[in-house]
Amino acid sequence: MIKILQVNNLKKYFSIEKIFSEKEKIVKAVDGVSFSIKKGQIAAIVGESGSGKTTLARCIAGIEIPDEGEIFFEGKLLDFSTKEKRRKIQYIFQDTYGSLNPRIKTGDILAEPIRYHFNLSGEKLKEKVKEFLKKVGLNENFIKNYPHELSGGQRQRIVIARALTMEPKLLIADEPVSNLDVSVQAQILQLFLELNLKDKITILIITHDLRIVYNLADYVIVMKDGKIIESGKTDTIFLNPKSDYTKNLLCSIPNSPYKNQK
């Protein structure tokens, strides 16, 4: 299979200034990370808070500009200075409410990118909006709602639909279900599976929930303190974890079957 994404030695540091101290503290959010994702895969980056998994994803999506390293997308080296041109990589924010303009109705939220991307207007534009709503399992009545009138699951669907309007090849989702109730979580995860299967979209999911990873992802990357601890096929990582950190993570899952093996 062809690699859709290749990341080489990526680094992103942040400095934190303190008012009362001279010293600048440097946080190495991503510290020399290399990996690749094959086309059509669902990959997962797993890690605890502060592991740098979100920063890494934001670098790939072009929201942050990395300090060092290179990213190849579909074989082409990405230019970090043109960060707004990365349409084929779409990123779904963890905070779905914050990532929707509160003063625009959902219909317009979807219509805007379609208007500029497909050059459509009038009836054809409306048709296209409905098409995308249908794709994420919402009916057309939702076009009249404002974001705050939607439930968490519906908002997540709208955010996904908006990302899909760009016809992305790679969809990055940052903790897409962590704010949702379990009964709604499964609906959204099933949607990701379908997008991967039917629309052939490569998906990179960032999560701390290993149960989700096991059933969703083909490939797993375990991160800690800005570095990759371990990566490999999901079955290999779950059945035969090499690093102690991964083992510890697996044992920490509530009601974990790994605990007995310890």
Partner 1 sequence: MRNIIEIKDLCVNYKISSNEKIYALKNINLNIKKGETVAVVGESGCGKSTLAVSMIKLLPENAEIFGSIKIDNEEILDKNNQQLLDIRGKKIGMIFQEPGASLNPVFSIKEQIEETIKIREKISNKDVLKNIGLNLLKEVGIKDEKRVYESYPHQLSGGLQQRVMIAIALSLSPEILVADEPTTSLDVTVQAQIIELLKKLKIKRNLTTILITHDLHLALELCERIVVIYAGEIVEDGFIRSAKDAHHPYTKALFEIIPDIKKKIKKFKVIKGEFPDMKENFKNCSFSGRCEFSKAKCRRYQPEVVRVGKNYVKCFYPLKG
Partner 2 sequence: MKKMIWTGLIVLIFFIILAIFAPFISSYDYKTQDISLRLQPPSLKHIFGTDELGRDVFTRMLYGARVSLSVGLLAVIIATFIGVLYGAVSGYLGGVLDNIMMRIVDIILTIPVLFLILMLIVYLGPSIINIIIIIGLTSWTDIARIVRAEVLKIKNSAFIESAKLIGLPKRVIIFKYIILNTLGPILVYIVFGISGAILIESGLSFLGLGVQPPYPSWGNILMSGKDYIHTAWWLILFPGVAIFLTVFSLNLLGEGLRDLFNPKLKKE
Nearer to partner 2, 95 or 181 (CB): 95
For residue 39 the two structure tokens come to 């086309």
x-or-dash string of contact with partner 1, 136-165, rule CB under 8 A = ---------------x-xx-----------
Which residues 241-260 are close enough to bind partner 1 by CB under 8 A? 248-249, 251-257
- Confirm if 68 and 40 have CB atoms less than 8 A apart: no
Name, in order, each residue with C-beta under 8 angstroms of 42's C-beta and a sequence gap of 6 or more: 192, 193, 196, 202, 203, 204, 205, 216, 217, 218, 219
Decide: is 79 part of the binding site for partner 1 (CB under 8 A). Answer: no
Q: Using CB distances below 5 to 8 A depending on partner kind, what does residue 63 bind out of partner 2, partner 1, none?
A: partner 2
Name, in order, each residue with C-beta under 8 angstroms of 72's C-beta and a sequence gap of 6 or more: 3, 5, 6, 7, 8, 78
CA 182 to chain CA centroid, Å, is 19
Nearer to partner 1, 47 or 66 (CB): 47
Q: Which amino acid is at 90?
A: Q
Nearer to partner 2, 179 or 256 (CB): 179
- Confirm if 17 and 24 have CB atoms less than 8 A apart: yes
Near partner 1 by CB under 8 A: residue from 59, 114, 210, 222: 210
Instruction: Give the binding range for partner 1 (CB under 8 A) out of 28-36, 81-89, 161-169, 210-218.
Output: 210-218
DSSP state of 94: S
| Least distance between partner 2 and beta carbon 73 (Å) | 14
Alpha helices in the chain (DSSP H): 53-61, 106-118, 122-135, 152-164, 182-198, 210-216, 234-239, 244-252
| Least distance between partner 2 and beta carbon 154 (Å) | 16
Decide: is 41 part of the binding site for partner 1 (CB under 8 A). Answer: no
**3 state DSSP class of 6:** strand
Neighbours of 225 (CB within 10 A): 15
Binding residue count for partner 1, defined by CB under 8 A:
34
For binding to partner 2 (CB under 8 A), which residues are involved? 61-63, 83-87, 90-91, 93, 95, 98-104, 112-113, 116-117, 148, 159, 162-163, 165-166
Nearer to partner 1, 81 or 255 (CB): 255
Name the site residues for partner 1 (rule: CB under 8 A): 48-49, 151, 153-154, 181-187, 189-190, 193, 208, 210-212, 214-216, 234-235, 238, 248-249, 251-257
